[in-house]
Amino acid sequence: MLAVMNLMLAQHGNTIWYVLPLAVAISLVYSASRYELTERIVRRATRLFCMIVGFMGAVLVVLWGLSATI
């Protein structure tokens, strides 16, 4: 099971890494448009980044689980 996941990540590894900078940019822009204090922007952007990556990871696990059962 883990070998299949590693193989999938190896085949699409280059495109997956674009998600992290994109999530950082989205988090910073969204937080900067809502707050003015730098400390609060960074804190909220970090929290939003973790939420985005966590949600995308959860979707990846669900889709991987569904594809493994078919």
Domain positions in the chain: 21-69
What gap in Å lies between CA 52 and CA 55, rounded to an integer? 5
Given a cut of 70, whether residue 6 has pLDDT beyond it is: no
* pTM flag (> 0.95): no
pLDDT at 57: 92
Stretch 25-29: mean pLDDT: 96
Q: Answer whether residue 40 shows pLDDT above 80.
A: yes
13 pLDDT band, cuts 50/70/90, is low
Name the residue type at position 64.
Answer: W
Mean pLDDT (the chain, rounded): 86
Tokens of 7: 């193989």
Distance CA 53, CA 57 (A): 6
Task: Compute CA 18 distance to the chain's CA centroid, rounded to the nearest angstrom.
Answer: 10
* Cα–Cα distance measured from residue 32 to residue 36, given in angstroms and rounded to the nearest whole number: 7
